Amino acid sequence: MVHIFKLLSFLKNYSIFNGDEMDLQPKKTTQLKNLIYSNDLEFIMEAHNGLSAKIVEESKFKGIWGSGLSISASLGVRDNNEASWTQVLEVLEFMSDSTSIPILLDGDTGYGNFNNMRRLVMKLEQRKIAGVCIEDKLFPKTNSFIGGETQPLADIDEFCGKIKAAKDTQNDPDFMVVARVEAFIAGWGLKEAIRRAEAYRDAGADAILIHSKKSNPSDIESFMKEWSNRHPVVIVPTKYYSTPTDKFRELGISLVIWANHTLRGSITAMQKVCRQIAKDESLINVEDKIISVAEVFRLQGADELQAAEKKYLPTAGKAVNAVVLAASQGSLGEITKDIPKTLVKIGGKTILESQIETFNQVGIKDISVVRGFAKEKITALNINPIDNDDYRNTTELYSLYLALKEIKQNTIVSYGDLIYKSYILNDLLNDPNDITIVVDADFDENLNYHDYVTTNQPYSKRNFLLDTRLEKIDPDLRKEAINGEFIGIFKTNEKGGVILRNTIEKLATDLNFKQLRMKDLFTEILKTHPIAVKFIKGSWLDINSIVDLQKAGDFDC
């Protein structure tokens, strides 16, 4: 039992990923704690957005400094709390999501008093930020390298209250609170720096950041000698950058922050590229000197998205197309006097535009439209038009006959006067059956010519996921035999497409073929092959009357 408790205690400090596999990478908070309490000198690098954070991690740094200066500069504002703490938090969320190493936030003065500090810590933990560094100046802060001597320091007791509030608020025991001492920056001496550092340590700070703007490490040397390794010390050697790193090791420094160099490096590069392009009015002298677009895609995780699309999108990796049967004029009076029904506008878009948009949402770009009445007005981009010039004397089945070569490996067939939710197409494309029709279990038996169906089992919440088969389809079914209404959408896979084409070609030899309906097609197929039914309840409309048009105005595609 003791061993089980030890194991559970061990695992609490580690992250588990990938569902089936255990990844014993320490939590971000634990990673930062290990850096700060390491026996070796450790380093973290500044980042200011998700992309720079990703680059820092790929450069083998063990942690990230969420620099207040850099984040505010990347947003185009001054380092004077002009970016609100919630805006900073939003940037941090992108940084955290794109990396697996810890982020120590440059939290300025804590963005207010102890209460602001408490809320900040709560929100940082929610976003898996590993720690926060706060400085003992007044809110709103001013950058330490701008008139530092004139900047008043916070009251020690008040600042200690912020530290205590942060430590009392954190839920993760490894969340790090670093107290930044600005005594040297503000023109005070070693005595004040030590007095403040000791007070902050007693208040619960996990480490002390001692800051200096001298070009040599004399302030740091004097502090470390007096401090005598009583608590971890963090430094930011931006001004005394020429100091050999081994000197920091000799002094016993725990953590070095390279505080703003990804930002400064990126500014240098952007200025150079922009000036070159402006001068040349061409890309010829920069294209081979900058990173490729492919590398940008890699950093963005494009490969992962492509893999996810194959897993989650029903069209990924498939040849999928759609055929829209839109040859009829419709019977909406003056509304369809000069345009086919598929071009009637609903909510600012035609029915056909809504259908194309819905197809695109599920990844279907290969769309054929069978035109008839006023065919010259159906000119939507990226469609393959097929003309039914005998639209007045034929039905939707004849229009499908004209589009037979478009029945391919995975094909959705839709009437041209429908609007519907995209999930219906998703469900169809995920359906493994050869031929599947969509049936609405909520039906109105008083409508004029609708294809009602009988199935092997009625719709219910218990069996809607089970295989349901079509038994009969007819507009004249008795009410008690009706299980739903065929809405005018069906799909075929490669095998189903062969069955569909063969059956239509067989029916085409009938002298009355031009008057046969879709129900006749399905009835013929049922003689030799099953047809699956995908039940829905609502989420679609067909436009057959002015009343339908009014209903459609409230329909959200």
By the 10 Å C-beta count (0-12 exposed, 13-18 middle, 19+ buried), 53 is classed as: buried
Distance CA 169, CA 541 (A): 53
**In this structure, what token pair is assigned to residue 207?**
């480490």
Q: Which amino acid is at 309?
A: E
Angle (nearest 5°) at CA 401 between 396 and 405: 130
Q: Strand 345-346 and strand 349-350: pairing?
A: antiparallel
Q: Judge whether 128 and 105 are in contact, CB under 8 Å.
A: no
Q: Judge whether 199 and 160 are in contact, CB under 8 Å.
A: yes
* Catalytically annotated residues: 79
Query: How far is residue 92 from each of residues 47, 52, 130, 173, 473, measured CA to CA in Å?
Result: 10, 11, 11, 21, 58
What are the residues facing 346 on neighbouring strands?
349
Query: What are residue 77's phi and psi, to 5 degrees?
Result: -125, 170
Q: Judge whether 474 and 444 are in contact, CB under 8 Å.
A: no
Query: How far is residue 33 from each of residues 103, 250, 278, measured CA to CA in Å?
Result: 11, 21, 47
**3-class DSSP string for 506-542:** HHCCCCCHHHCCHHHHHHHHHCCCCCEEEEECCCEEE
Residue 215, number of CB atoms within 10 A of its CB: 11
Query: What are residue 43's phi and psi, to 5 degrees?
Result: -135, 140
H or E stretch at 397: helix 396-402
The DSSP output letter for 316 is: T
What are the residues facing 93 on neighbouring strands?
none
Q: Strand 452-455 and strand 484-492: pairing?
A: antiparallel
Query: What are residue 326's phi and psi, to 5 degrees?
Result: -135, 40
